[in-house]
A and B are shown apart, each in its own frame.
Chain A
Amino acid sequence: MINLGNEHHEFADEIKADSGINFNVCLHCKTCANGCPFIEGMDYAPNAVIRLVQLGLEDVALECSSIWICVGYNTCSSYCPMAIDIPAVMDGLRHKAIEKGVKIAEPDVLNFHTEVLNTVKKYGRTHKLEIMMRYKLKKMDFLSDMGLGLKMLKKRKLDLTPSKVQDKKAIEKIFKEK
């Protein structure tokens, strides 16, 4: 049941505070939904995700796949007549989903982001080969894309050794800073 009292504002306020975006100006015109190339992989269109937040349907919003499928490349926000930074709202929802420990709809995407940041923490730059190896290891998937991986190595699309930042302390500081 959707409670249309005042209490559902709390969740919307939390997301507004995290993202710094006022999504209540959304007209639900669906321009974002029509422009998104990845809507097929989403259970709710971007404007519908905003609606879920407005209605205070916290669990549904945090557990939906859309917030992880969104790659944040601004097709939606650059067409949005109300100039809502929709990817920033998605970021806010992702942060909240991690913070509240809800079930993550697309664990592969989160796994990928985590591995990217792990290599950045280690070297200051991303190291694609290590990201791919660890990602596949966590997923226990060694067969899919094996041929592609070998082709990329052969074409030298994946460097064997990482490119590193010299000032390791600065990178450590970034990952400690709160």
Chain B
Amino acid sequence: MKKFLKKNKNNRSSERLRFSFFPGCALKVSGHESTLSLLKFCDSVNIELKELEDWNCCGSSSAHSIDHNVAKHLPMRNISLVPKGIPLLIACPSCLIRLKSTYLKIKEDENLRQEYEEAWGKPFDEDLEIIHFFEIFNRIRLEDYINHLEEKLKKIKVAPYYGCMLSMPPNLRFENNYSGIMEKTLSKLGADIIPFGYANMCCGTYLSVAKPQLAQKVVTQIVSKAMEAGAECLVTACSMCHLNLEIRCALENSIPVLHFSELLSMALGAEDQKKWFPRHIVDPVPLLKKRGLLVS
């Protein structure tokens, strides 16, 4: 019956979308709750994510900073592992930039293509599609999977925080830009969106280790501005941002920070929050209970 309803509402939704999934170190190694809720959400909207087999680190901020060659070959190996014909989905904005810009460079540069093919023993796949997780909102309609969606998030006051994800290097400036996607999606699901001026300010990434005082100042500013604007929680698009907003905020009464995928999964009826929330430094459970999003 459910299937029949879905089919009638929208033909696109009857087909299960399949992606190769590149988790990257931030999601795989420390942001387990982000990965778990992402997989849960995708499953509930009929999307299959198959983890890219034996993927390696994209090189992060460190490879391109100090070693050209490693920065070039780490993403290249990942590109070579993607099964033909299946788009690669990446949820970490930083991994996306590393893989996508390497892919475009190979596409445009004959010498680099030769180097890639010699090193990784595979012809370069010109048609490989590399997309960010947000792209799926251009391919599915949430209303096909859920009824009364505007009641789901019960007016919880969220401040969407994008960090650097909307800033692209010049070679990617014509790629899709996802400005406003979190606002649009969450308000559709019944959240109360609190816009604030610091939504695009970088969280400091690794400066949180190497220059903690600089990161702390910026993070505290981001969180306090969201609070001043009236937010009850922040929602992040990136696992790294999530970690920094939690560990480097100097406020005593900081608000919870939720992963976008956690709110999405909850709105779609996921019940395994017990696996996610104990991993948060600022416990979101009291707020979610207060809003009636969690029952004891």
Mutual binders A and B: yes
Interface residues of A (CB under 8 A from B): 18, 37-38, 40-41, 69, 71-75, 77-78, 80, 83-85, 87-88, 91, 94-95, 98, 106, 108-114, 116-117, 120, 124-128, 131-132, 135, 144-145, 148, 151-152, 155-159, 162-163, 165-167, 170-171, 173-175, 177-178
Is B70 within 8 A of A175, CB to CB? Answer: yes
Give, as a whole number of angstroms, the nearest-CB distance from B75 to chain A. Answer: 10
Enumerate chain B interface residues (CB-CB to A < 8 A): 25, 28-30, 32, 54-57, 59-70, 73-74, 77, 97, 119, 163-164, 166-171, 173, 200-202, 204-207, 209-212, 214, 217-218, 243, 247, 278-281
- Do residues B204 and A38 form an inter-chain contact, with CB atoms below 8 A? yes
Report B-chain residues with C-beta under 8 Å of the C-beta of A108: 210-211
Of chain B, the residue at the smallest CB distance from A107 is B210
Shortest distance between the CB of A126 and any CB in chain B (Å): 4
A116-B62 in contact (CB<8A): yes
Contact between A125 and B57 (Cβ–Cβ < 8 Å)?
A: yes
Given contacts A113-B62, A174-B70, 15 further A-B contacts (CB under 8 A): A37-B204, A38-B214, A38-B218, A69-B211, A71-B204, A77-B167, A77-B170, A85-B171, A98-B66, A106-B210, A112-B210, A120-B60, A120-B74, A157-B30, A174-B73
Main secondary structure of the interface of B (DSSP, over half): helix
Taking the nearest CB of chain A, how far is it from the CB of B77, in angstroms?
6
Q: A38-B214, A135-B209 are in contact. Are A116 and B60 (CB under 8 A)?
A: yes
Nearest A residue to B24 via CB reads A125
- Nearest neighbor of B115 in chain A, beta-carbon distance: A177
B111 CB → nearest A CB, Å: 13
A144 vs B186: C-alpha distance when bound (angstroms): 38
B76 to chain A, nearest CB (A): 8
Which B residues are CB-close (under 8 A) to A178?
A: 69
CB of B200 to closest CB in A, whole Å: 7
